[in-house]
Amino acid sequence: QTVVTQEPSLTVSPGGTVTLTCASSTGAVTSGYYPNWFQQKPGQAPRALIYSTSNKHSWTPARFSGSLLGGKAALTLSGVQPEDEAEYYCLLYYGGVGVFGGGTKLTVL
Amino acid sequence: EVQLVESGGGLVKPGGSLRLSCAASGFTFSNAWMTWVRQAPGKGLEWVGRIKSKTDGGTTDYAAPVKDRFTMSRDDSKNTLYLQMNSLKTEDTAVYYCVKYDYWGQGTLVTVSS
């Protein structure tokens, strides 16, 4: 069974920079896994942030960026704002079947 | 404005069946690949399945835990996505979201309990 692994929790100061990662149990993550990133705040439906590794949606703030880093998919937040405190999920595709990571709870403190 | 409105959730006994619907508007539904994602109470997101547009073959893919029990379908004339869920288990209890890769519905709660 394929497992996608994210950091369970991270803490960042307002204005700081933080990188969340997404690893695959099958090996290095490449663009062929079409990494997606989503943000979810308590009591809300998730919101799409990044698709196909690094592409932003029209509503994605400029401070969010996606990339591949050291064999993992990565989501970097630069100039973190208090409203960025949320759960972040990555999604990878394996031959058409999607698998979410367990999520990273980002605390802005 | 894109809208995805799920319906059909509720309480069902183990072994029972339920059909969820997702009414779509604000985009060309027939061109969209649509996905169902679920979230058990207090847990993370779980990808359930995806259906391609008919022009791309209309084929479906499912996650292992629901394969052979759940079936996705679409009615492009009604701009509606469906999820037929059979042989339901307690572990299928979750909020089910209808997703168009960039937009999410608000979800419908399915509770499987005796």
Condensed to tens digits (0 to 9), the pLDDT of residues A47-69 reads 999 999 999 999 999 999 999 99
Residue ranges of alpha helices (H) inside B1-114 are none
Rounded to an integer, what distance in angstroms lies between the CA atom of residue A49 and that of residue A52?
Answer: 11
Rounded to an integer, what distance in angstroms lies between the CA atom of residue A51 and that of residue A90?
Answer: 10
Q: What is the pLDDT of residue B101?
A: 84
Q: What residues are paired with B24 via a beta bridge?
A: B4
Contacts of B35 in chain A (CB under 8 A): 98
Q: Do B101 and A99 touch (CB under 8 A)?
A: no
Q: Please compute the mean of the pLDDT values over residues B42-60 and round it to a whole number.
A: 98
Q: Searching chain A, which residue's CA lies closest to the CA of residue B108?
A: A45
**Which of B45, B50, B62 minimises the CB distance to A46?**
B45
Contacts of A46 in chain B (CB under 8 A): 37, 45, 97, 104
Inform me whether the pLDDT recorded for B87 exceeds 90. yes
User: Looking at residue B27, what DSSP letter applies?
Assistant: S
Q: What percent of chain A has pLDDT over 90?
A: 99
The H or E element containing residue A93 is strand A86-94
Q: What is the pLDDT of residue B63?
A: 98
Strands (E), chain B: 3-7, 10-12, 18-25, 34-39, 45-51, 60-62, 70-75, 80-85, 94-100, 103-104, 108-112
In sequence order, which residues have a C-beta less than 8 Å from that of residue A44 and are 6 or more positions away?
Answer: none
Distance of residue A102 Cα from the nearest chain B Cα, in angstroms? 6
